[in-house]
């Protein structure tokens, strides 16, 4: 049977599991451009990559390695000025049917209007867990760090080390959690003016093309699960790791909880858990759990 768990079992049986040390990645070694050709432009010795969108296509890159849990940091400077209609992404996704996904998406806006940081989680091909936030800074003038922590207990989305969202493993309550399919890291920019800005009202103005977002200081500390013979596990140095890395058990301490509450109470602009119109028969079950345990 071709099921995610049987595939995963094969992966575990036949392939190596490596632990990466925390160290900076190199875009030349660690990613492939999977669309957009020269619109994805690696520079600075592999430390930076800029992705462009023009009226023909966007562009994107995907990691060579696959990961099952880890900490994934990326510094991103988003499209400046008029970015309405554009979507810039940084996400993790498994391959094949019934996929799992952990998403950061950045929805552009007209000059001077705020971006939205859009987050979502897919388990076994099912998403519908969107939460959106306004950033507390202008994400187009400087690089800011966007982090996914993914361990067997929870997923934490962080911006500049401030947790904005947590999604816990509630399998004990019958709620799915992505923990059996390895994922790759993806980043892309594309035209989504049918929905991205003010629900699709504000269109991409191609006068301003190309639209360019830049990525740098890619840093992965993770468990790699794949057959690659390359020595790289999302970074240029790989060693077996004997001690437990912080991300493996990371949760939210009192200070983190306070920060998360601040973001959620003041900057959250959409929460699927309170969209009663969309879920007239009741919101998904994790929404009924206490806030930090959702
Ligand atoms: C990479 O991240 C780890 C934490 O996971 C941190 O200790 C390390 O300093 C970072 N390295 C770079 C080059 O940013
Ligand atoms: C790629 O980046 C380099 C360095 O930033 C720049 O000089 C060059 O014009 C860029 N190429 C393209 C095709 O955008
Ligand atoms: C796309 O942009 C180029 C460069 O600005 C322009 O010459 C071309 O006409 C545009 N094509 C379309 C289909 O809009
Ligand atoms: C675009 O944004 C940059 C930096 O945010 C600013 O310096 C520049 O003047 C802007 N350009 C236009 C045409 O608004
Ligand atoms: C764009 O700006 C408008 C007006 O300030 C705001 O309502 C909207 O949420 C912003 N973001 C997006 C992605 O539409
Ligand atoms: C696109 O931008 C140009 C240059 O600022 C402006 O003249 C034009 O009206 C804009 N188009 C739309 C549809 O807003």
* pLDDT average, residue stretch 155-182: 97
CA distance between the termini of the chain? 32
| Residue 50, pLDDT above cutoff 80 | yes
The secondary structure of the chain in percent helix, strand, coil, rounded to multiples of 5, reads 20, 40, 40
* pLDDT average, residue stretch 157-183: 97
- Going from the Cα of 219 to the center of ligand 1, the distance in angstroms, rounded, reads 6
Q: Is the beta carbon of 116 within 6 A of some atom in ligand 5?
A: yes
Q: Whose alpha carbon is nearest atom 10 of ligand 4?
A: 81
Q: What is the pLDDT of residues 217-230, one digit of tens each?
A: 999 999 888 766 55
For residue 29, the enclosing domain spans 4-293
| Residue 144, pLDDT above cutoff 50 | yes
Per-residue CA distances from 276 to 121, 281, 282 (Å): 19, 8, 7
The number of residues in the chain equals 294
| Residue 53, pLDDT above cutoff 90 | yes
Instruction: Write out 55-111 in H/E/C secondary structure.
Output: CCCCEEEEECCCEEEEEEEEEEECCCCCCCCEEEEEEEECCCCCCCEEEEEEECCCC
| Residue keyed to tokens 């957009």 | 36
CA–CA distance, 42 with 171 (Å, rounded to integer): 40
- Annotated catalytic residues are 101, 105
pLDDT of residue 209: 98
Ligand 2 site-directed mutation target among 36, 38, 50, most atoms within 8 Å of CB: 50
Q: Which CATH number characterizes residue 13's domain?
A: 2.60.120.200
Other CB atoms within a 10 A radius of the CB of residue 289 amount to 14
Greatest alpha-carbon span in the chain: 54
Domain count, the chain: 1
Confidence tier at 244 by pLDDT (50, 70, 90): confident
CB 140 within 8 A of CB 277: no
If you compute the radius of gyration of the chain from its CA atoms, what whole number of angstroms results? 19
- Going from the Cα of 80 to the center of ligand 4, the distance in angstroms, rounded, reads 7
- Residues in contact with ligand 6 by the CB-under-6-Å rule are 205, 207
Q: What is the pLDDT of residues 84-121, one digit of tens each?
A: 999 999 999 999 999 999 999 999 999 999 999 999 99
Ligand 2 site-directed mutation target among 36, 42, 43, most atoms within 8 Å of CB: 43
pLDDT of residue 243: 75
CA–CA distance, 104 with 17 (Å, rounded to integer): 26
CB 183 within 8 A of CB 102: yes
Q: What is the pLDDT of residues 181-214, one digit of tens each?
A: 999 999 999 999 999 999 999 999 999 999 999 9
């Amino acid at each position: 049977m071709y099921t995610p768990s049987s595939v995963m079992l094969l992966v575990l049986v036949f392939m190596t599991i490596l632990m990466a040390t925390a160290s900076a990645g190199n875009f030349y070694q660690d990613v492939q451009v999977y669309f957009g050709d020269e619109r994805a432009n690696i520079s600075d010795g592999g430390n930076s990559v800029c992705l462009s969108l023009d009226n023909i296509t966007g562009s994107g890159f995907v990691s060579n390695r696959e990961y099952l849990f880890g900490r994934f940091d990326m510094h991103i400077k988003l499209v400046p000025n008029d970015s309405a209609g554009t979507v810039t992404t940084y996400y993790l996704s498994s391959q094949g049917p019934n996929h799992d996904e952990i998403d950061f998406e950045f929805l552009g806006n007209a000059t001077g209007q705020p971006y939205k940081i859009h987050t979502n989680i897919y388990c076994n091909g099912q998403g519908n867990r969107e939460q959106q936030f306004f950033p507390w800074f202008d994400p187009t003038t400087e690089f800011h760090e966007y982090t996914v922590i993914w361990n067997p207990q929870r997923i934490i989305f962080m911006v500049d080390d401030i947790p904005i969202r947590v999604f816990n493993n509630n399998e004990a309550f019958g709620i799915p959690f992505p923990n059996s399919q390895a994922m790759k890291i993806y980043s892309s920019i594309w035209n989504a003016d049918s929905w991205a800005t003010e629900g699709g009202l504000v269109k991409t103005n191609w006068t301003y093309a190309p639209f360019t977002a830049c990525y740098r200081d890619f840093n992965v500390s993770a468990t790699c699960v794949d057959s690659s013979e390359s020595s790289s596990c999302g970074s240029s140095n790989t060693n077996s790791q004997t001690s437990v890395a912080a991300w493996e058990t990371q949760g939210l301490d009192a200070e983190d909880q306070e920060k998360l509450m601040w973001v959620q109470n003041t900057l959250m602009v959409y929460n699927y858990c309170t969209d009663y119109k969309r879920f007239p028969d009741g919101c998904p079950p994790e929404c009924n759990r206490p806030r930090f345990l959702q």
